[in-house]
Amino acid sequence: MRSLIEVQRKLLPDLMDVMQKRYHILRYIKFMQPVGRRNLAVSLSLTERTLRAEVEFLKSQNLIDIFPSGMQLTDAGFDLLEKLDGVMRELTGIDKKEDGLAKKYSIKEVIIVSGNSDVSPWVKAELGKECAACIKRNLSGENIIAVTGGSTLAAVADMLTPDSRKTLFVPARGGLGEEMENQANVIAANMAANMNSSYRVLYVPEQVSKEAYLSFMKEPAIKEVISLIKTANIVVHGIGDATVMAGRRKSSPEIMMKIKDGNAVGEAFGYYFNEKPEIVHKVHTVGIQKEDLDHADSVIAVAGGSSKAKAIRAYLKMAPSATTLITDESVANELLKG
């Protein structure tokens, strides 16, 4: 396949460009359907005239249907898109990038999806789809899966499907005070519902004083859930921008200054770190700690968007070897530069 692609690239470069363009149009329609022509043209940075010609071609090939509500893929369109995925990975060199990044950062695996989730909302859905598949591949006979919060993890939950293996979902941390659907408790419950599995909740704040933490740990129910979290064989988490996460935690001006003075670029599990990476601030959190990752069989980090490239690069420098990174192409290209 690779040799054929190389021949086509040399003899028919225009054909490869056209194929990539039509592939991206089909992918966008898949995730945003029903979608109108104008919205599609803006999202893909195409003129309406160019898109009109492409849409007419795709319609003539019975790959899309056009309704008053917008365009949708036909069954033939779905089938073709699935077959094209592998071809496009080779054409764009994504498989080589994945291998190169996994070796560069000495981690288990890297999975890259096309696009930039900062720009295209459907890329986050693709990240969720790949992460859901990765979770399924890493399931064993019995599983405890600890999950953090955030919009990307919420997208992962949406992509999970029923599974007969015994699985318990637990939140990796207490509540962060963010939107309900993005909280770890809710995401753990949604993942369990979609996989026909069970879950436990942790109804305590993520950020507490030492005294409050010791008090919480005296409660048998809380102590039991914390024990489950720390023995999880699979951990699924996001990677945040340091300043954004500090803001979401409503950090004090003193802590914000500490994070700024320490040149922090990223955050994970309550740890704020700079590009070296050095831990510049640690939040006293209820839930999983960085050292707990060493006991997990699989650590799945899912994060995308070019704005997070520095945070993801810094995190990978200290990530456990059992880590699988699931990210988008905009981040991957930045990681390959550094």
In this prediction the pTM is 0.86
Same domain, 199 and 310: yes
Same domain, 134 and 280: yes
**Does the pLDDT at position 216 exceed 90?**
no
Dump pLDDT digits (tens) for 125-166. Answer: 899 999 999 999 999 989 999 999 999 999 999 999 999 999
**CA gyration radius, the chain:** 22
Instruction: List the domain range (segments joined by +) for residue 17.
Output: 2-92
Dump pLDDT digits (tens) for 258-274. Answer: 999 999 999 999 899 99
pLDDT of res. 5: 61
Same domain, 229 and 315: yes
pLDDT of res. 1: 54
Q: Answer for the pair 71, 40: CB distance below 8 angstroms, yes or no.
A: yes
Total count of domains within the chain: 2
Dump pLDDT digits (tens) for 22-46. Answer: 988 998 898 888 999 888 888 788 8
Domain stop point among 92, 114, 134: 92
> CA nearest 73: which of 32, 125, 25, 29?
29
Same domain, 69 and 27: yes
Same domain, 62 and 110: no
Same domain, 85 and 155: no
Q: Domain with 52 in it: what CATH number?
A: 1.10.10.10
Confidence bin at 9 (pLDDT 50/70/90): low
pLDDT of res. 178: 58
The strand pair at 142-147 and 234-237 is best described as parallel
pLDDT of res. 60: 95
Domain stop point among 37, 61, 92: 92
pLDDT of res. 338: 67
Same domain, 172 and 246: yes
Q: How far apart are CA 305 and CA 307, in angstroms?
A: 5
Same domain, 183 and 286: yes
Same domain, 202 and 290: yes
Dump pLDDT digits (tens) for 69-108. Answer: 999 999 999 999 988 888 888 777 898 999 999 999 999 9
pLDDT of res. 206: 65
Q: Domain with 225 in it: what CATH number?
A: 3.40.50.1360
Domain stop point among 32, 57, 92: 92
Dump pLDDT digits (tens) for 156-208. Answer: 999 999 999 999 999 998 765 556 778 899 999 999 999 999 999 988 776 66
In 3-state terms, what secondary structure has residue 98? Answer: helix
Q: Answer for the pair 274, 94: CB distance below 8 angstroms, yes or no.
A: no
Token match 């359907």: residue?
33
Same domain, 297 and 318: yes
Q: How far apart are CA 208 and CA 219, in angstroms?
A: 15
Instruction: Tell me which H or E stretch contains 57.
Output: helix 48-60
Same domain, 242 and 185: yes
Same domain, 112 and 59: no
